[in-house]
Amino acid sequence: MLLEKIGHWLQRNGKRIRILQWNIILFYAILIIVPACLPLPSSQTHILKNLTLFAQFAFWGIWWPFVILSIVLFGRMWCGVLCPEGALTEIASSHGLGRPIPRWMRFGGWPFIAFGVTTIYGQMISVYQYPKPVLLILGGSTLAAIIIGFIYGKSNRVWCKYLCPVNGVFALLAKLAPFWYQSNQIQWKQEPLETLTVNCPTLLPLRHMTSASGCHMCGKCSGYKNAIHLSPRSPNQEIVEQSLKKQNTWESIFIIYGLLGIALGAFQWSVSHWLPLIKEYLATKLIDNEIMWPFDTNAPWWLFTNYPHQQDIFSWLDGFLVIGYIVLFSICMGSFVFLLLYTTTRIIGKFQIARFNHLAQTLIPLAGCGVFIGLLANTITLLRNENIIFTWITTGKFILLLLSTFWSGYLAWKVIQKYSISIQSKITAIISMSIIYIAINGTWVFILLIWSVKPDIRVLL
């Protein structure tokens, strides 16, 4: 009942929400534009005294990790109510050309490609550390959202639905949300034809909604035909029940090679003990062959990190190594997970892509937890610079990993039970899935414990 009221409140208060969105847009614009025009902060200054540090903390210390968390807790309410980019694309769309959505944009691989390219590019130019890359990546994405909004759709969020770089992560995590806008089929049939229609910003089929993935929780459809209401549900329901009916191989690729591959690679390259060894090997080979240009440090800041005053410069070799490391890690880890998912699917019966995809979705809690704790590293580093130190944080991260591993394991068990009758194959299948959990957690043991004793590799590069 309370949830229903919240949904209706959102539906009735569109104007208030728009005012809130304009305030956020203003705040967001200041935080991405002004720091890029200021000199870089000295090491003596603090978050509350320097706008650049404040913006860095706001974006990477609070916004990014806690938006990820909020999606699991509240669905994509961030997107529908607070996101400045979503609001701007919708506003642009309501005053734009209203063109139909082109075929190329409907390609299912965009979330994976956009996420992969943005993540790797962010590492190449050190987006978490410097304000100009923030302006380039976030500002560029916002500009693209406005342009796409202006050209396509009519008061819709075409950008968010098809091209936003974080749409893929949010869509997966929203499957775990304990609320959603539920469409009641019986009620729908009973209601007389209504002339008023709801313009869902993300173009969802309101009558046949089976997922919270694409819903931005804007509330516009709340109470429509008395059939759609914000309702509670089990956080396991969508993955165990609905994912059976609605399969998307691109979502599996995103989980396997995106969240467990590219994202995990991006979180670990800067602390990896292997990277300096690879660099040493390659550097020796290059010198032996008298190929010296890869050691030059003349790449512009928008291609590879180049801040001489901060002694933070990538040579061409460093830059290509970072890209190569993330891509290679993604291929290796992703393929390992892929093979084990394939094996598990075979254990529970004949191979079917639908079953494979269903099992892949059970990894969402563990993969999502990895993204959250990886991003939390920025929060902790920035607070440590302010002399705020949490001695328990590593333990806390491992507890979160453990809980999310059990959650993924529970989901996998429920999915396996749907396909397998024999207890022997059920147990073998869950053992096979457990090898994936061990590999992912093992990677985190390296990142958080074994490699963390070494100084940041950025200093060494």
Binding site for ligand SF4 (CB under 6 A): 80, 181, 198, 200-202, 204, 206, 215-221
Rounded Cα distance between 417 and 405, Å, is: 18
Beta carbon of residue 115, minimum distance to ligand SF4 (angstroms, whole number):
21
Report CA Rg, the chain: 23
Measured from the CB atom, the residue of 180 and 356 that comes closer to ligand SF4 is 180
- In the complex with ligand SF4, which residue's Cβ is closer, 123 or 222? 222
What pairs with residue 306 in β-bridges? 313
Nearer to ligand SF4, 216 or 279 (CB): 216
3-state secondary structure 267-279: HHCCCCCHHHHHH
Q: Chain centroid to CA 167: how far?
A: 7
Provide the minimum distance between the beta carbon of 239 and ligand SF4 in the complex, in angstroms, as a whole number: 19
Nearer to ligand SF4, 203 or 303 (CB): 203
Nearer to ligand SF4 among residue 83 and residue 412 (C-beta): 83
The candidate with the shortest Cα–Cα distance to 257, out of 111, 137, 141, 138, is: 111
C-beta of 61 vs 80, nearer to ligand SF4: 80
Q: How far apart are CA 209 and CA 184, in angstroms?
A: 9
Q: Give the strand pairing for 228-232 and 179-183.
A: antiparallel
CA distance 27 to 58: 11
Q: Least distance (Å) from ligand SF4 to the CB of residue 218? A: 4
- The least distance separating ligand SF4 from the CB of residue 200, rounded to whole angstroms, comes to 3
Q: How far is the CB of 208 from ligand SF4 (least distance, A)?
A: 11
CB of residue 170 vs ligand SF4: minimum separation in angstroms? 12
Q: How far is CA 378 from the centre of its chain?
A: 15
CA distances from 332 to 154, 170, 208, 264, 266 (A): 43, 24, 38, 12, 14
H or E segment to which residue 76 belongs: none
Nearer to ligand SF4 (CB atom), residue 160 or residue 360? 160
- Report in angstroms how near the CB of residue 181 gets to ligand SF4 at its nearest: 5
CA distance 308 to 130: 13
Q: Which is nearer to ligand SF4, 88 or 137 (CB)?
A: 88
The Cα–Cα gap between 368 and 163 comes to: 20
Shortest distance (Å) from residue 256 CB to ligand SF4: 27
Q: What are phi and psi of 235, to 5 degrees?
A: -60, -15
Instruction: Report in angstroms how near the CB of residue 214 gets to ligand SF4 at its nearest.
Output: 7
Write down the least CB distance from residue 222 to ligand SF4, Å: 7
- With a CB cutoff of 8 Å and minimum separation 6, the contacts of 329 are 261, 264, 265, 268, 269
Nearer to ligand SF4, 16 or 454 (CB): 16
> What ranges in 307-422 are assigned the alpha helix state H?
316-347, 353-361, 364-385, 393-419
17 versus 72: smaller Cβ distance to ligand SF4: 17
Q: How far apart are CA 433 and CA 345, in angstroms?
A: 10
The 3-state DSSP class for residue 229 equals strand
Between CA 288 and CA 291 the distance in angstroms is: 8
